[in-house]
Amino acid sequence: MRVTVCLPEGAARWAADLQRALGPQATVEPWQAGQAPADYAVLWKPPAEFLTAQPKLKALFAAGAGVDALRALPLPPGVPLVRLEDAGMGVQMAEYVLHALLRWYRGFDRYANQAAAAAWWPQPPQRKADWTVGLLGYGQLAQPVAQALRGLGFPVQAWARTQREADLPLFAGPAGLAPFLRSSRVLVALLPLTEATRGLINAERLGQLPDQAYLINVARGGLVVEADLLAALDSGRLAGAALDVCTPEPAPPNHPFWRHPRIQLTPHIAAATLLEEAVVQIAAKIRALEAGQPISGVVGADGY
């Protein structure tokens, strides 16, 4: 069994760790042009020639949770694309969302401005019951976020494409989106970027949020119509936004998000792939496929 690792950086480390995890029944190598075709590939941002040199792949494993960039490539037909499921990213995502929410909810930005002016002005406390957090998307990475938020006493609800059992209020489908938005004081974007979700957070959807709502986007910049977001912020309809993603990335120096007083922008760091956890997960799935067993995390035709 041959496994190739094609990454912009760190391929040798991934290959060495995956070799140890799979053992002697596998040959795992960083990809190089002219290499023998592989049975399995771990990849991220591969060059065009990589895919044309792989005629016998059984599965492609993304080295990250988001797969929209990979789905845009001419992937081999019939070869499953498998995303990472959590692999340590859920806790990081929860940390980011908690930090962004608490900074706004507790007014820490306001206190920083007051401190710069040597102003001692305590503000009245907020009621958490008035700060319902809506998770736009309720996949695997959203669940640690919900758990962390509820652990601090925030009301949490979610929206998903389809109705299913959940341990929180769950809105579903197109009919559930507007009532979900109307009752979300804080909106956390956690959806993958697909044909159906691109531009989903537009003027209409922002207008359905409560007045002075707050947006946290830890998913993909393409979910948001940026001009509509800026208009909602400038009009005062939206209180602010914490954004870990934007379009394009990296954000150029003249991107309006850098300078907007109501936006906190970070460079796509909400949740990074943790190598050890990712290798354990990928190795287990390769062994399952070799044994003819089903695996989770296979990306569907709709990007989910």
At 246, the amino acid letter reads C
- Can you read off the two tokens belonging to residue 169? 């209020």
Contacts of 275 (CB under 8 A, 6+ apart): 10, 13, 14, 17
User: Residue 163 is which amino acid?
Assistant: Q
What secondary structure letter does DSSP report for 272? Answer: P
291 HSE (CA, 13 A, CB side): 9
> Angle at the Cα of 104 (from 99 to 106), degrees rounded to 5?
90
How does DSSP classify residue 222?
Answer: G
Catalytic residue among 220, 237, 255, 260: 220
What is 117-128 written as a DSSP string? TT---PPPPPPG
262 is catalytic: no
260 part of the active site? no
Where does residue 296 rank: exposed (0-12), middle (13-18), buried (19+ CB within 10 A)?
A: exposed
- Torsion over CA: 54, 57, 60, 61 (sign): negative
Q: How far apart are CA 36 and CA 56, in angstroms?
A: 10
Question: Which residue out of 71, 185, 205, 268 is catalytically annotated?
Answer: 268
Catalytic positions, please?
A: 220, 268
